Amino acid sequence: MGAGSVPRVGTAAWTAARLAWRDRATASARALIAARRAAAGAPPLTDALEPQKTPLDAGVHATPAHRSSMSPRDCWPPGASQPRPGMASRHVIDDAFDPRDLSVLVAAAKMSMHALRASGSGEASAAALGRASEGILGLDAHIAMRRTIRTMTETARRAVHGVPPVVPPVPARDDRTEEGAHSGDDLDAPTLHPAGALFTHIVPGETSVTSVTPGTQIDTTHGYWSPHVDKANVPEYDVSAVLYLSDGDGVDFAGGELHFMDAIGGWKTVTPRRNRLVVFSSGEENVHAVGVVTSGERTTLNLWLTRDPRVAAPDDD
């Protein structure tokens, strides 16, 4: 779809083009996942099943090259003149957020998210943009979430454009505003805009298991543990970011690691760590899944960004 034929955002023509693009992207992603599943095996649902995963620690990690079955010109949103940012690297960034805001969010999750639990899966999610979460989590958590999302947006922007993240000192008790840790005015790079966000709280569910053996049969096609491509699910997403609000590895919860499903080298794994942010591009180069949570409570703030202001989420705060 060339720039001269771009339909106007929100029109029936735009909606039809978006649905057609998503159908193509979904088919391409499903074929890719099936091929990689055949080569690399099922997702590493628990540590017990896949002890030889390659860890991704704090730092910058190369994203393996991937040639999509879709043409590079067949992009979404249409009319964009620049490639999606961050396609060559994955970023694991530690301690870039105010730990007191993270504590407020964890406490709100423990108090408020149980009523939203999805049947069977153990997963509860609340929309994190706009004012939707205020009635669920309370005003203090809503303000903390706004600050954190602003910092996530700027940190992700710096990461995908190769600028070192700003790790701010913890502000004094009376020196916290809603403006986030840094403004990014010193960064000469395209702005990224929030397109979607979820506050997620996962506990072991009926479809999870507390003791998994190699012979255990688990449905790997439905649930948060299923391999997927973010941009195939929501075409507006260009960059994905996951902020851990609790510690994995058996501290606050067990399981729940983030696994990238690569064509070469098998599974690459990020261990959850409180105040750890993972940033990666949202396309087929980053097929990923989350391991089953087998004990405890996993709390994350998940943010998806777009380079195109036409399709950004409205700021209705």
pLDDT on residue 1:
47
- The answer as to whether 75 is a domain residue is yes
CA 268 to CA 264: how far, in whole Å? 10
308 vs 17, 79, 82, CA distance in Å? 16, 10, 10
pLDDT on residue 40:
66
pTM: 0.87
132 CB neighbour count, 10 Å cutoff: 14
- The answer as to whether 11 is a domain residue is no
Q: Rounded to 5 degrees, what are φ and ψ at 30? A: -65, -40
- The answer as to whether 82 is a domain residue is yes
- The answer as to whether 210 is a domain residue is yes
Least trusted range by pLDDT, from 173-177, 238-242, 262-266, 298-302: 173-177
Sign for the CA dihedral angle at 89, 226, 276, 123 comes to: positive
Tokens of 68: 């999509």
Give the residue from 85, 94, 132, 98 showing the smallest Cα distance to 112. 132
- The answer as to whether 265 is a domain residue is yes
Residue 215 has pLDDT above 90, yes or no: no
Tokens of 263: 């064509």
- Could you list the residue range(s) of the whole structural domain that residue 248 is in? 16-311
- DSSP E strand boundaries for the chain: 54-55, 59-62, 89-94, 123-127, 193-202, 239-244, 253-255, 258-261, 267-270, 276-281, 288-290, 293-296, 298-306
Region 118-129 average pLDDT:
84
Residue 210 has pLDDT above 80, yes or no: no
CA 179 from centre of chain: 22
Residue 238 has pLDDT above 70, yes or no: yes
Give the residue from 243, 252, 257, 259 showing the smallest Cα distance to 295. 252
- The answer as to whether 8 is a domain residue is no
Least trusted range by pLDDT, from 90-104, 137-151, 153-167, 234-248: 153-167
- The answer as to whether 144 is a domain residue is yes
Region 13-37 average pLDDT:
93
Region 72-94 average pLDDT:
83
Is residue 261 helix, strand or coil?
strand
CATH number at residue 260: 2.60.120.620
Give the residue from 115, 291, 267, 299 showing the smallest Cα distance to 209. 291
- The answer as to whether 10 is a domain residue is no
Region 265-281 average pLDDT:
92
Place of tokens 């957020």: 97
Total domain count, the chain: 1
pLDDT on residue 276:
97
Residue 5 has pLDDT above 60, yes or no: yes
